[in-house]
């Protein structure tokens, strides 16, 4: 028996700012968690993250985001046993017209119709990791639904987040996402 859609039951409240353009230039702090806080990416040993095969693939995919989204720069990030923290910088808003020669457009830019928001960047990253995991392991569901994002508005906030990311493996046992 299937349940019909009921807005009161099935409504997912968005944590995004309603009138903010998530294509805007700037820095964004992103946290993406594994489904059920499962430790899928490796382990912390002597306060250092030891990535397993899936963790290494997550690292590779995260570092390769600019290949698919040329307006993005990957800043500081850390892959933890059950989540990823990263700073993404959008270095320029995508304009309506493309000035690249026609032969370069298809190979160097996301396909026409591909959104250029933080949400679309995270969605494509998560899909790539999930696809690889399903083909190369017994893991079917990698990620929890959604992700956390914080717009970094000033240098002080940036430096605090940067330090938090760098110290995350050292402080793993105090992390709210820590599981034994």
**Beta-bridge mates of residue 73:** 89
pTM: 0.79
Categorize the per-residue pLDDT at 180 as very low, low, confident or very high, splitting at 50, 70 and 90. confident
What is the pLDDT at residue 51?
Answer: 99
The CATH class given to the 26-93+114-174 domain equals: alpha beta
120, 132, 126: which is closest to 57 by C-alpha? 132
pLDDT surpassing 60 at residue 101: no
Residue range 105-156, pLDDT digits in tens? 434 444 444 678 899 999 999 999 999 999 999 999 999 999 999 999 999 9
Strand partners, 150: 29
For position 105, what pLDDT does the model report? Answer: 40
Examine the pLDDT at 1 and tell me if it is beyond 90: no
Q: Is the pLDDT of residue 99 over 50?
A: no
Say how far apart CA 21 and CA 155 lie, in whole Å.
Answer: 20
3-state SS class at 107: helix
CB 118 within 8 A of CB 22: yes
pLDDT tens digits, residue range 27-64? 999 999 999 999 999 999 999 999 999 999 999 999 99
Domain ranges of the chain: 26-93+114-174
Estimate to the nearest angstrom the gap between the alpha carbon of 58 and the chain centroid: 10
| pLDDT value at residue 116 | 81
């Amino acid at each position: 028996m299937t349940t019909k859609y009921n807005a009161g039951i099935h409504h997912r409240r968005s944590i995004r700012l309603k009138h903010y353009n998530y294509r805007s230039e700037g820095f964004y702090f992103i946290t993406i968690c594994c489904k059920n806080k499962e430790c899928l990416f490796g382990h912390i040993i002597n306060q250092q993250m030891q990535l397993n095969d899936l963790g290494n693939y997550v690292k590779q995919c995260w570092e390769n985001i600019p290949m698919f989204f040329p307006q993005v720069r990957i800043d500081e990030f850390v892959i933890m046993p059950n989540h990823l923290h990263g700073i993404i910088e959008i270095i320029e808003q995508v304009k309506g017209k493309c000035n690249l020669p026609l032969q370069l457009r298809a190979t160097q830019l996301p396909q026409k119709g591909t959104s250029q928001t933080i949400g679309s960047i995270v969605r494509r990253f998560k899909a790539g990791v999930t696809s690889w995991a399903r083909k190369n392991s017994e893991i079917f569901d990698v990620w929890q639904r959604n992700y956390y994002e914080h717009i970094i508005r000033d240098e002080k906030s940036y430096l605090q987040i940067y330090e938090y990311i760098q110290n995350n493996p050292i402080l793993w046992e105090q992390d709210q996402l820590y599981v034994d």
